[in-house]
Amino acid sequence: MMRRAIRSHTPEGFIALDNSALIYPPTEAAFNTNTFRLSMDLKVTVHKEILRQAAQDLLVRCPYAKVRLKKGFFWYYLTPNDAELPIWDEGSYPAGRFDFKLNNHYLFKVIHGPHRIAIECFHALTDGSGALAYLTLLVERYVSLAAIAEVPPNGRLRYGERPKACEFSDPFQALYDKRVRPFGTISRAYHYSAVGSRSESVKVIRAQVRLDEIKGRAQARRLTVGEYLSSIFLLSLQTLQQGEVANQSRRRPIRLSVPINLRKVFGYETMRNFTLFALVGIDPALGSYSFDEIAHHVRLGMALAVEPKQLLSQIRRNVAGERSRALRYAPTLLKNPLFKLLSDTLGDQQYSGVISNLGAVSLPEPLSAVVTAMDFHLSPGLLNPVSIAVVGYADTLTINFTSYNDYDTALERLFCTFLVEDGVGVSVASNRQER
């Protein structure tokens, strides 16, 4: 597909949110934080003051991150932020709700532990791929300032060069075509009713497996690792629904929301949100599905979902809504409940869970010699109580289950049990307190 030119500039004054980001500020809430965390573990001790300088240098290189969120009369928008970016000590619970005031109104946090550097993002700033670029740049700068290593230029974002216009562009606007039929609505999906209490702290169960081992099991079924994990997720949800709903005809469709990195499809290199979501799943009202049947649906569903025409249809629907006169000139006070309704009907209600897979991350030498491990956490939701975030690094694949459930871990147990029974060794850890 031919790329269209995008005009953009270093942020000054009023900065419109990108099309994907519009939904996040009005829907942010205690059990819908719209945040995620990425981290890298280093062989060396992380010193806070050196990290502080690296973070300031990051803001110079990426001025589009040096912003704050404001609520306007018609829209939320971004504006330049001249405050100091705080450096946070790592806590026990990731991907929690942002206190923007304590963070000097930045839309991302820089967090450190004894050997860890992390970035936690509010989704209005960027998506997982954008945050990974920020984190990589931050760690590169840290190891340089700490005289640990120098990472040579390699065609990616790097210090010493001016930001390009495309880095702060909103490609959704360039790809919008009003001639395309807008994406249709989807029926309500099954939602697991977790047992017991919940609290705002994000509970994590981390499952780690050998990357070559899980690749082997996926390839034996002609699946990618992402398709394999999505199929296990769907199978686990099917088991839970069967335990809740005895009458087959009353069982709702089970679908997963799977983020698609549009940079790989359309070629734009933006640092803003550039993600759409594939909905893949099964309809248990038709009967019980075996794992291989589920995998077949996932493989075909993902192949269709990443077709450019399908994606352009979603973009047509989303951008047309933003451009409609009724929505454009409605005050924020009225937009907020409407966006919440849209988030439910065109989002959470359509799927039964979220699985976000960053894939196997490859870092340039000599940075890869310093970074020993990576981690990725996604905030859960209220309607879909468990989210899954996946990242591979070196020889390890890390699968993080996050939820607000205080005690219910039924889905996580089903998922990990399948892996073990399928011949994949699993190492499990958690931030949950013992009962």
Closest CA to 353 of 279, 288, 408: 279
- DSSP assignment, residue 431? -
Q: What's the pLDDT at 434?
A: 61
| Distance, CA of 359 to CA of 361 (rounded, Å) | 6
d(CA 21, CA 68): 13
The pTM assigned to this predicted structure is 0.93
How far is Cα of residue 323 from the mean position of the Cα atoms in its chain?
25
Q: Where are the domains of the chain?
A: 15-173, 198-313+346-430
The answer to whether 358 and 390 are in contact (CB under 8 A) is yes
Q: Is 72 helix (H, G, I), strand (E, B) or coil?
A: coil
Number of other CB atoms surrounding residue 177 within 10 Å: 11
Residues of the chain with pLDDT under 50: 1-11
Q: What's the CATH number of domain 15-173, 3.40.50.620, 3.40.630.10, 1.10.10.60, 3.30.559.10?
A: 3.30.559.10
**In this predicted structure, what is the pLDDT of residue 110?**
98
The CA distance from 67 to 61, in Å, is: 13
The answer to whether the 15-173 and 198-313+346-430 domains have the same CATH topology is yes
The β-bridge partners of 396 are 210, 393
210 residue type, one letter:
R
What three-state secondary structure class fits 29?
strand
Using alpha carbons, select from 348, 419, 53, 398 the residue that is nearest to residue 211: 398
pLDDT tens column, 237-246: 999 999 999 9
How many other C-beta atoms lie within 10 A of the C-beta of residue 396? 17
Q: Tell which residue, 90, 118, 96, has the closest CA to residue 201.
A: 96
pLDDT at 277: 94
CATH of 198-313+346-430, one of 2.60.40.10, 3.30.559.30, 3.40.1130.10, 3.10.105.10: 3.30.559.30
